[in-house]
Amino acid sequence: MRPEQRDAAYVWDMLDAAKAVHEFVANRLFHEYTTNRMLRGAVERQVEIIGEAANKVSKEFKEKHPEIRWQQIISQRNVLAHEYGEVEDELLWKVATVHIPGLIQQLEKLLPPLPEEK
């Protein structure tokens, strides 16, 4: 697989996980998030996936797309994976409800349109 194809695959993984987070928190309140262990776990896992995929995107691709906050995304993943006792519900809720919608828009611009099904 060519490097640009790998980058596109990782960006697609990021987008897919971001859309899942957006779906999980749609029409939910912070109180629901903090009291629903399954919801919190699902959001945390998808944010981890976003960060893991971002970490695998090539340096060249990241440099071409500085509008994506690559390092912050990767850092959030590292907190979730390695410092899980330090996860703050308020911060992750903000990521899910404020930052993820914008990230989805940014990532969609980086991917070619999918061929239409017939």
Amino acid at residue number 50: I
Please confirm, yes or no, whether 77 is among the known catalytic residues: yes
Are 14 and 50 spatial neighbours (Cβ–Cβ below 8 Å)?
yes
Give the closest residue to 106 by CA, choosing from 54, 31, 59, 58.
54
Q: Which of 2, 31, 37, 82 is catalytic?
A: 82
Whole-angstrom distance, CA of residue 99 vs CA of residue 118: 34
Please confirm, yes or no, whether 22 is among the known catalytic residues: no
Q: Which of 31, 65, 77, 99 is catalytic?
A: 77
The catalytic site residues sit at 77, 82
